[in-house]
Structure 1
């Protein structure tokens, strides 16, 4: 009996091991579903929720119900939060999109998906031009950081992500961020280099809320989905990459309406 209990414990521990490989594999099932416009290949948990632009809705009423040609796809993984972040761009269809999606798994179990949380921008949204955004981001280098000692800490990445979102309410936040001299910022389709130019230094009394994080030390990145309360209740994704301790890339996806 003791042997059986021990084996069962090992099996349970193995099934609850949230690995980078399993997170990226699950993210790939989401990508495949989006290309097909069908959710039949997704393994959803009994408590599954779908959220689009900060509003819960039926998955059948969201982007996954329509197939899109994806011109760019990139995913990152957070083994601590057992979550992934996928950015995709569809610039060549009749309705272009730039999308950021966080996928979460309860109980460190990547065999099922408990939450698909999407911020999607399209024509008419803030600074939107999918073709221009695609052109900028295709040129970026997202090679994983191979040396552990070169990876930014989880604490630093979260601090940078929070400081960026705090710039609208905290006059000191912008200057606390370690800007790289060759960093690039893509806000919708607006390009700024170096990143540290033309930044807000407070002025709003409303902090940006509803922050949800995916932090990946291997790529040196943090994505924060939020509600951009400082300028209005806009669904928003801010992704930042840090290389050698300095900010290298910033991406923003901002929808003008909830839902």
Structure 2
């Protein structure tokens, strides 16, 4: 169970919305900050990051000291990808490390206050490693590195509303028997849950059964990439810190990725 102070911190994340009078939050600024995060992770030096005065670090749904988190250890990164949400002034970065005794697949949302991408207000990470749900970093890497993540052309990009609806619909499948049928599944959709691969995505879906809604949802929505990432607490199965990313191409779900930490806290 997440303590009240953790819920308060998560509420603070969701209120990190841009000010209407502030300068525009740019895609280039968001991706530059994401790249600085990756450089800090590769070096194991969070001190290189430009952090705001009220910065918060959260790992696996628990507010903690950045000095004791993943960022303080250098990890060689075999694959990474970032998306940008200029409306929420936030980015999402996925990275995979297969080397060493402790491989990782990591999902991170970075948030900026007042549309100011020159400093980072929050780093919010869900990490999975050996022992977590369907975990095998090498298999996951093999699947994801084959995917096509080129920009979607203007005029063919899904709306923000559709992307949020798809992200919520996916997480609602465990509590709502009708949620699976509300999602526009593609015929060649690939689903990677940890290292478990399913094609097409619409095969073997949950249809309700749990009374616990998957909560604490935080969104990064990128219309250019046709993607939504939702960090959450997967209460339907066990209060697990979780990331679900969905990509929509030509109005249909193309990719689904999940990163789930079954231990709940720490790394």
Give the TM-score band, short-chain normalised: over 0.9
The residue number in structure 2 matching 1:99 is 106
The residue number in structure 1 matching 2:8 is none
Q: Does 1:254 align with 2:260?
A: yes
Return the alpha-carbon distance in structure 1 between the equivalents of residues 24 and 119 of structure 2. Answer: 13
Runs of 4+ in 1 over 6 A off after TM superposition: 12-15
Q: Does 1:71 align with 2:67?
A: no
The residue number in structure 2 matching 1:23 is 30
Match of 2:39 among 23, 32, 52: 32
Match of 1:55 among 62, 69, 72: 62
Residues 53-82 of structure 1, C-alpha deviation per residue, up to 9 Å, x if partnerless?
Answer: 000000000000000000000000000000
Q: Does 1:163 align with 2:179?
A: no
Q: Over aligned residues, Cα RMSD in angstroms? A: 1.3
Return the alpha-carbon distance in structure 2 between the equivalents of residues 13 and 100 of structure 1. Answer: 28
Greater radius of gyration (CA) = 1
Aligned ranges 1:1-259 → 2 under 5 Å: 16-147=23-154, 149-259=155-265
Contact 2:45 / 2:72 at 8 angstroms: preserved in 1? yes
Return the alpha-carbon distance in structure 1 between the equivalents of residues 163 and 33 of structure 2. Answer: 23
SS in 1 for 2:47: coil
Contact 2:22 / 2:114 at 8 angstroms: preserved in 1? no
TM-score by length of 1: 0.94
Deviation at 1:40, TM superposition (A): 1.9
TM-score by length of 2: 0.91
Which sections of structure 1, spanning at least 5 residues, go unmatched? Answer: 1-11
Return the alpha-carbon distance in structure 2 between the equivalents of residues 83 and 13 of structure 1. Answer: 16
SS in 2 for 1:40: helix
Return the alpha-carbon distance in structure 1 between the equivalents of residues 192 and 20 of structure 2. Answer: 41
The residue number in structure 1 matching 2:16 is none
Q: 1:113 to 1:194 in 2, by over 3 A?
A: same
Deviation at 1:13, TM superposition (A): 9.5
Return the alpha-carbon distance in structure 1 between the equivalents of residues 51 and 211 of structure 2. Answer: 39
Contact 2:109 / 2:124 at 8 angstroms: preserved in 1? yes
